[in-house]
Amino acid sequence: MRVFCASIATETNTFSPLRTDFTDFEQSFYAAPGDHPETPTLCSAVFPALRKRARAGDIELVEGTATWAEPGGLVNARTWARLRDEVLDQLRAALPVDAVVLGLHGAMIADGCVDCEGVLIEAVRQITGPKTKIGVTFDPHSHLSARRVENADVITVFKEFPHTDFAETGENCVDLTLRAARSEITPTLSVFDVRMIDVLPTSRAPMRGFVDKMLALEADGSALSISTIHGFMAGDSPDLGAKIIVISDGNQNAGDKLAHDLGMELFSFRGTTKPEFLTVEDALTAANDAKTGPVVIADVWDNPGGGVAGDSTILLRAALDMKLKSLALATIWDPMAVRLCHAAGEGAQLDLRFGGKTSAFAGAPIDATVTVMKIANDAVQSFGASVVPLGDCAVIHIDGIDVVLNSNRSQAFSPDLFTNLGIDIRSRKILVVKSTNHFHGAFASVASEILYAAVNGPYPNDPTQTKYTRLTRPLWPIAANPFEVENA
């Protein structure tokens, strides 16, 4: 059996002041055919899963490009055309193939193309013909279009948020796609539009129980696979919103019913899923008053994983104004400040302006005399089995607070973001991370408490106020009951 695989992935915040080009893909992750590492990245876990089967002699594997850009703004047209054509040309050269497996994100939007993944999957179908089986993995913070469903045979989506199951999702996609190519199963897709957009962390109820239910239904044979698309509220897409995907073994009616029932259960959770979001002052006060540490505060909206810059100074300035000590913050994206710190060297004191460069809504730059505590080239952090680049970094100390400055944008995933740069987290009372929920899996075991701070900035975090231009159907919370609106 001959199998082709490739991965093009990013998450596009169409309201971000940033723009995304090929340099962003190169800086984050770019692997030419055959160069993918043995460890998976978030959206390319299908590569090591397929390699394992190739080593076992089950398949002949032809690898294409694998690339990922840190979530950002609109992808420019040239970059999208280059990556799309690169992969499609590789596929043409690999023909004939029995199966194609793609590791995608699902929320990529380019200048002139609002459904990049749908266009890519459709083109793969046109090139390979109707008999080739096509399997795809998505991040749940994505947009599920009809074009994608019509052209893919298998779609699997990370169930967890934080996405701790990305490797398992790749394995499941590979398993189902190869079984379909051997005619052992007839994967049949059923999709239900939940008509809502919300923050759906699976580390807490009710989503924790919902994911466990999906896993139980797969285990008892009710479906080959069950996935939830959460949607990505910062993407202006006509397909915005949550959806349920059920893959049955040739049983469309049963799959449709199960998707409907799960979808309506998910809809019943609206407005109840996210943790309590505190103001900056309340979060910092609560953390400072805690008897034990470290208390972790998540700056949920200045999250580079949502496509913003991650250079907001609002929370840090509040901490400085409150004269808090024993606090470490990661990260503030500022390549220029990093360069100046590297030039100064470890132990140097300098007057530094940092942060607040990319948006009028992320606070003003901070001007301060700082001490350079640590500099590092090509720093990294871990996310499960994946290695996440931070680029060149510097740790600066200012009035009792340590701040990690980085040159490659990335949200916080793991405590080793701090420890790799010499910060002893157990000696700090407060840790501030820029992340919505991906930090939770790794930080929960070291945190005495986790708090969430809602710092309004460039991220569009209220769908009722966001100026969507492409949405063509009612969604909660924009509509109180979108199903009634549609049927009216």
Tell me: the pLDDT tens digits for 443-454? 999 999 999 999
Res 478: pLDDT: 97
Q: How far is CA 326 from the centre of its chain?
A: 30
Note whether 208 and 162 are within 8 A (CB).
no
pLDDT at residue number 297: 98
Q: Which residue has the tokens 């915005």?
A: 240
Beta-strand ranges (E) seen in 109-224 are 133-138, 154-157, 187-193
Backbone φ and ψ of 375, nearest 5°: -125, 150
Tokens representing residue 57 in the block: 């002699």
Mean pLDDT of the 464-470 span? 97
Report pTM. 0.96
pLDDT tens digit string along 151-162? 999 999 999 999
User: Across the chain, what does the average pLDDT equal?
Assistant: 97
Q: Give tens-digit pLDDT for 297-342.
A: 999 999 999 999 999 999 999 999 999 999 999 999 999 999 999 9
C-alpha 29/C-alpha 65 separation (Å) is 11
178: enclosing H helix or E strand = helix 166-181
In this predicted model, what pLDDT tens digit does every residue of 17-71 receive, in sequence order?
999 999 999 999 999 999 999 999 999 999 999 999 999 999 999 999 999 999 9
Task: Report d(CA 131, CA 96) in Å as an integer.
Answer: 11
Question: Which of these, 214, 250, 256, 20, lies nearest to 116 by C-alpha position?
Answer: 20
Interval 98-132: pLDDT, tens: 999 999 999 999 999 999 999 999 999 999 999 99
d(CA 298, CA 433): 5
CA 214 to chain centre: 21
Query: What is the arithmetic mean of pLDDT over 161-169?
Result: 97
Which pLDDT does position 322 carry in this prediction? Answer: 98
> Where in 57-179 does DSSP place strands (E)?
60-68, 74-75, 99-104, 133-138, 154-157
Q: Cα–Cα distances in Å, from 377 out to 56, 142, 215, 393, 395? A: 38, 33, 41, 6, 12
Indicate if the pLDDT at residue 351 is higher than 60: yes
Q: Is 488 helix (H, G, I), strand (E, B) or coil?
A: coil
- Is 485's pLDDT higher than 90? no
- Name the token pair of 58: 């089950």
What is the share, in percent, of the chain residues with pLDDT greater than 70? 99
Side-chain-side CA neighbours of 116 within 13 Å: the count stands at 32
Side-chain-side CA neighbours of 347 within 13 Å: the count stands at: 0
Q: Taking a C-beta distance cutoff of 8 angstroms, is the pair 239, 148 a contact?
A: no
What span, in angstroms and rounded, lies between the C-alpha atoms of 403 and 372?
10
Helix, coil or strand: residue 268: coil
Give me the pLDDT at residue 457, please.
86
Region 392-399 average pLDDT: 98
Structure confidence by residue, pLDDT tens digits, 195-210: 999 999 999 999 999 9
Question: Residue 413's closest CA among 278, 296, 252, 248?
Answer: 296
Angle between helices 46-55 and 166-181 in degrees, nearest 10: 50
Residues 307, 297: Cα–Cα separation, whole Å: 20
Whether the per-residue pLDDT at 486 is higher than 70: the answer is: no
How large is the angle between the packed helices 116-128 and 77-94, nearest 10 degrees? Answer: 20
Average pLDDT over residues 397-423: 98
Where does the pLDDT of residue 456 fall: very low under 50, low under 70, confident under 90, or very high at 90 and above? confident
